[in-house]
Amino acid sequence: MTSLRTFRYVALAEATSFLALLVAAVIKRTSDNEVGVQILGPIHGALFIAYVAIALSIRTANGWTGKETVWILVGAVLPFGGYVVDWWLLRREQTPAS
């Protein structure tokens, strides 16, 4: 079973790879150098799939509502989204249950 901690690591890695891929895409367009995209594309793709799969597999165990799950998944497609999701999950862990 995958833990929330593992998901948070994957979320941070996915967000970082997304930003790096965006930079590589700009470099590709401005200097005609495709190496960064060729390397980072598959890495980001694998991390994206892992992010979505893990999020869906741990949502029930972590008590995420449908709305929370949707927002967590939206975090995978927005630049900096994984960082926001990690921050939210960390805050949620540290808030005492009502």
Name the pLDDT band for 67 (thresholds 50, 70, 90).
very high
Beta carbons within 8 Å of 48's beta carbon, 6+ residues apart: 14, 18, 76
Q: Are 12 and 75 in contact (CB under 8 A)?
A: no
| Pick from 3, 20, 8, 30: nearest CA to 86 | 8
Q: How many residues does the chain have?
A: 98
DSSP state for residue 79 in the 8-state scheme: T
Name the pLDDT band for 97 (thresholds 50, 70, 90).
low
What pLDDT is stored for residue 1 in this prediction? 64
User: Taking the complete model, does pTM exceed 0.75, yes or no?
Assistant: yes
* Domain positions in the chain: 4-92
Q: Are 36 and 27 in contact (CB under 8 A)?
A: yes
2-47, pLDDT tens digit by residue? 799 999 999 999 999 999 999 999 999 999 889 999 999 999 999 9
